Structures are given as C-alpha cells and as structure tokens.
C-alpha cells in the first residue's frame, strides 16, 4: 500500500506541528527525525513560544520545509498549538514535541491508512526513552478501526506524538485545543474527535516519547482529574453518545478517583490517596498494586513515576 502511494505521486502534504519553549537540548534530534521520514511531502510548522535559549538558531538552520514562527508573548500550550495550526497547509496534521522523535516510517504508514480508510484520526504504539535516548518501556496499542470511543473511555492509550488528524475535521467542525485546559487539551480534542468520527489505531511503533524529570505531567498533577472530568461531562451530556455508552461513562468517571490520588501522594497524604485508589480498584484491578504499596514508606517521586 505504501509503495502504491509513492509511485502514483499521490502524496498529500502533512503538516508537523512543533511547539517549542526553550527546547534546545533535544531539538535537533526531534527535527532530524522528521527529515529522516520515508514519506517526503511534509512541512514543519515550528512555533517558538518565546524561547530564550538557542532553539531559534537550531530551527532556522534547517531548510525551508521548516517554517519558523515566533510568538510575541508566552501562551499556554493549548493556545500555542491553536496558533500553530492556523499556519498549517497540510491535508493531515501530526504533532511532535521538542524532546521526542518520530520513527522513520511514521508518516508513510499513517498517510496510507488515512488515504484509503477515510479516518478522522490515526495513532499508534510508542516507545518510552530516557534522557539519554535509552529505551525504558513501551506502550503497545491494539489495531482497531472505526468508532472506538467506547474503548478510549475504558482505556485511553493515545500518545500525542503518534497522532495524525485529517485537517478538515478541525476546520469543518470548528474544533481546536481548549485553551481553558492546562494539562489535557490533547485528551479533550482527541476524545471529541473520537466521539464523532472513525479512528484508526495501529499496533506499529511510530514514535519515541522521552520521559524526563521536567515532564509537564508532574507539574500539573492537580489538574489531571478535574480536566478529564470536564471532558467526560461534555461528552456524556450528548444524548446520542451517553445513551449508547452509559456504563462506559460510569467506569470512566470512577477511574477519576485514581487520578485524584496523584496530588495527594505528592503531598504525602497516603491515607486519603489509598481511599481514592480503593474506589477505582473495581474498574482496573492493577490499581490494587498501588493501593498496597501505599501501606509502606515509599519514595513519592518513584511512586508517581510508576503510576504515570
């Protein structure tokens, strides 16, 4: 299928959205991973969110396929991504953070699926790497095609770096990243797309996601549960969705107790954290491991890394 796409010359443009704020440390590796793609018809929309390190110098050292823009003032990530999206010209959109990398066949695999399957969005499996690029884990997703919101409610497994979106899905439905959200604008947008459109998930590994100490997730623990609840309430309020998936929404709301335990663990409130995790054990039995661990004096940082 991939060879047919290349030989016919039917190579729609893919816009790779890169939002950057002081990301020089791994930036060249990230950009190089786009230039190394086996699929060649792409552009990088590089949105510099007021970096003061050498990110601009690195970005501007590449060819004109990288289109550099700099924000006049620093904005939250969701807003910055929306601004970058307005500059995109591609039929398809992908996203890459400055410390992560695409695997070489990422764009080609997804363009083939999107072209011939008419999906609104596609995503895949991801490797987890450390600060030195060594593999420390992986997240394998199941290959599924169609309306998969029910599965995402039970097990949200979308990694931002593996996503490809059909751009007209956003433009025709006035969809964008919700700027009120600090932690989960991506979760919110992807779940809204999945609620209305066919999705393709691939078991293929498409990207490398770097887990580092300064991860945005760790800084925003207090926002995880409230923001996920915000999205779930929006989706469940639509009668055409909730009537078919009432049980699935109940499970999804129940799992929020697990996420409410994270800021409690960070502040050392293990007793209350255990109570919250216990409320979510019935929907995910693996949570009982965390529940039991909290009976012992453990390193909070280590435990939070394990849980996230």
Please tell me the predicted confidence (pLDDT) of residue 55: 95
Residue 220 is predicted with a pLDDT of 83
Give the model confidence (pLDDT) of 181-191 as tens digits.
988 999 999 99
pLDDT of 2 reads 43
Q: pLDDT tens digits for 166-211?
A: 999 999 999 999 999 988 999 999 999 999 999 999 999 999 999 8
Mean pLDDT of 283-298: 90
Mean of pLDDT values over 123-150:
94
Q: Are 290 and 277 in contact (CB under 8 A)?
A: yes
- Binned at pLDDT 50, 70 and 90, residue 88 comes out as very high
Q: Is the pLDDT of residue 136 over 70?
A: yes
Ranges 85-94, 144-153, 234-243: which has the least confidence: 234-243
**131-141 mean pLDDT:** 93
Look at residue 22 in the predicted model and tell me its pLDDT: 94
Tell the residue number behind the tokens 């593999």, with chain if given. Answer: 135
C-alpha span between 238 and 246 (Å, rounded): 11
- Per-residue pLDDT averaged across 270-282, rounded? 93
Summarised one tens digit per residue, pLDDT across range 9-22 is 579 999 999 999 99
Residue 3's pLDDT band (cuts 50, 70, 90)? very low
Domains in the chain (CATH in brackets) are 2-212 (3.90.550.10), 218-307 (no CATH)
Q: What is the mean pLDDT of residues 96-109?
A: 97
DSSP, collapsed to helix, strand or coil, labels residue 26 as helix
pLDDT, mean of residues 233-244: 83
Question: What does pTM read for this prediction?
Answer: 0.92
- Residue 216 reports pLDDT greater than 60: no
Give all strands (DSSP E) within the chain, no chain letters: 14-20, 42-48, 66-70, 92-95, 101-102, 121-129, 135-139, 144-146, 164-166, 199-210
91 burial via Cβ count (<10 Å: 0-12, 13-18, 19+): middle
pLDDT the model gives residue 286: 87
């Amino acid at each position: 299928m991939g060879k047919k796409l290349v030989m016919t010359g039917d190579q729609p443009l893919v816009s790779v959205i890169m939002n950057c704020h002081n990301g020089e440390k791994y930036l060249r590796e990230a950009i190089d991973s786009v230039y190394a793609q086996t699929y060649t018809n792409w552009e990088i929309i590089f949105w510099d969110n007021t970096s003061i390190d050498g990110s601009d110098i690195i970005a501007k050292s590449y060819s004109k396929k990288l289109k550099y823009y700099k924000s006049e003032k620093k904005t939250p990530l969701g807003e910055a991504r929306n601004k970058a999206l307005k500059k995109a010209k591609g039929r398809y959109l992908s996203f890459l953070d400055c410390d992560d990398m695409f695997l070489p066949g990422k764009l080609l695999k997804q363009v083939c699926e999107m072209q011939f399957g008419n999906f609104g969005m596609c995503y895949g499996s991801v490797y987890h790497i450390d600060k030195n690029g060594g593999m420390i884990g992986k997240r394998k997703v199941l290959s599924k095609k169609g309306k998969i919101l029910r599965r995402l409610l039970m097990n949200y497994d979308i990694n931002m770096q593996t996503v490809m979106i059909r751009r007209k899905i956003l433009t025709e439905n006035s969809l964008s990243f919700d700027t009120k959200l600090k932690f989960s604008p991506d979760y919110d947008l992807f779940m809204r797309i999945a609620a209305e459109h066919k999705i393709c998930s691939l078991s293929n590994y498409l990207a490398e996601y770097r887990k580092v100490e300064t991860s945005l997730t760790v800084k925003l623990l207090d926002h995880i549960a409230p923001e996920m609840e915000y999205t779930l309430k929006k989706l469940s309020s639509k009668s055409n969705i909730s009537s078919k998936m009432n049980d699935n929404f109940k499970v999804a709301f129940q799992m929020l107790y697990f996420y409410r335990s994270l800021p409690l663990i960070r502040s050392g409130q293990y007793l209350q954290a255990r109570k919250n995790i216990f409320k979510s054990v019935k929907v995910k039995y693996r949570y009982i491991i965390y529940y039991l661990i909290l009976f012992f004096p453990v390193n909070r940082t280590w435990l939070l890394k394990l849980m996230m």
